[in-house]
Amino acid sequence: MERRIVHVDMDAFFAAIEQRDNPALRGKPVIIGADPKGGRGRGVVSTCSYEARKFGVRSAMPISEAWRRCPQGVYVHPDFHKYEKASGQIREIFFEFTPDVEQVSIDEAFLDITHSAHLFGGPLETCRRIKARVKEVTGLTCSVGLAPTKMAAKIASDLKKPDGLVEVRPEGLKAFLAPLDISKLWGLGPKTAEALRARGINTVGELAAAGPGELGGHGADLIALAQGVDPREVREDSETKSVGNEVTFEKDTADEREIKGSLLALADKVSSRLREAGLKGRTVTLKLRLEGFETYTRARTLTLSTNYTDVIAREIMELYSAFQKGRKKVRLLGVKVSGLMPAGEKESLFEEEGDARREKAHKAIEKIREKFGHSAIYRAGGKKDI
């Protein structure tokens, strides 16, 4: 039986959610990211609407460059809690059509419908129903690629955005791949592409016709992909690797009060996200980016996993205090917790002293935030707006 793999890619996901929730933003160039402050802001674009892309704005672009290209854009601070909620709704929809779902990121996933498509009128009709169901439940559009392999499905989903649907039939797989630029190959990096172009190989078809000896290293694997050979399966990976948050300062800062306040706020945010997800973690990581873009990480592994703000904050503060940055100013701070496990899973027969009080305090804070929003209450010394 020929495999039928679906790649679903949400269209301008964060921006589309903001336009859905605020009708005044529809049809306007919406840019999700830091406040540009008249073109002098810090940080990068998380994503942007298709209206903004007409001005050359792209994801990961410095927010100052986005402002230069599109000063008339509407700049919106990201609300990841809202985006994660929508992502969860969409993931549940996928399981209505197949148990074989691989979440790639917050806004894209692979589905293997090989053994379930017949229940919904065939592969193509299944894709149409997935798109309709996502629109019905969330009010959002997605672009879908249907193909015999993961790579071809991913490429296909990108060809007719937004709200596209492209099918690659098994018998037409090689013909579909052949004229594409080699940059379309999933997993082929810029340096490899440059090396291939230096050999006169610019299309997937030209790569498919190359001899393995010409390329060396992973040449055989690349040629196989170009020929449509991609045995990678759709594998569910339900394990969240880490939970973290970062903040980029508007101006590089050496203000210890501002730095430590931001670290407290980040620890609180990470704690809140861990608890919402029902997780706790053992490894706490501090990320610092100094002026000049020098980036460092420092980590500490705890005896017992945690999702408590005060524990995370204590470890982060100790890591920061031990870091020797001299007189250099700080551009970015990040806090991450990894080595995750379910929050209810016991690691010891004895609770750490103070855990019962911590749990009670955290639940009280969560009730206030559930009713009035995350910014309704925050830790003393922390920044309210992270």
Pairing of strands 242-253, 330-342: antiparallel
Give the active site residue among 108, 125, 246, 250. 108
Separation CA 362–CA 360 (nearest Å)? 6
* Cβ 142 vs Cβ 131: under 8 Å: yes
Count Cβ atoms below 10 Å from residue 314 Cβ, excluding itself: 14
3-state class of 3 per DSSP?
coil
Q: Which residues on adjacent β-strands are paired with residue 102?
A: 110
* Cβ 272 vs Cβ 369: under 8 Å: yes
Exposed, middle or buried: residue 281 (CB in 10 Å: 0-12, 13-18, 19+)? Answer: buried
Whether cis (ω within 30° of 0) applies to the bond prior to 29 is no
Question: Is 108 annotated as catalytic?
Answer: yes
Separation CA 343–CA 322 (nearest Å)? 29
Exposed, middle or buried: residue 317 (CB in 10 Å: 0-12, 13-18, 19+)? Answer: middle
DSSP state of 278: T
Burial 358-382 (b: 16+ CB within 10 A, else e): beeebeebeeebeeeebeeebbeeb
Separation CA 262–CA 247 (nearest Å)? 8
Separation CA 307–CA 163 (nearest Å)? 39
Q: What is the DSSP string of 136-167?
A: HHHS--EEEEEESSHHHHHHHHTTT-SS-EEE
* Cβ 271 vs Cβ 245: under 8 Å: no
Alpha helix ranges (H) inside the chain: 13-21, 50-53, 63-69, 80-94, 123-138, 150-157, 173-177, 190-198, 204-208, 212-215, 219-226, 256-276, 309-322, 355-372
The set of catalytic residues is: 108
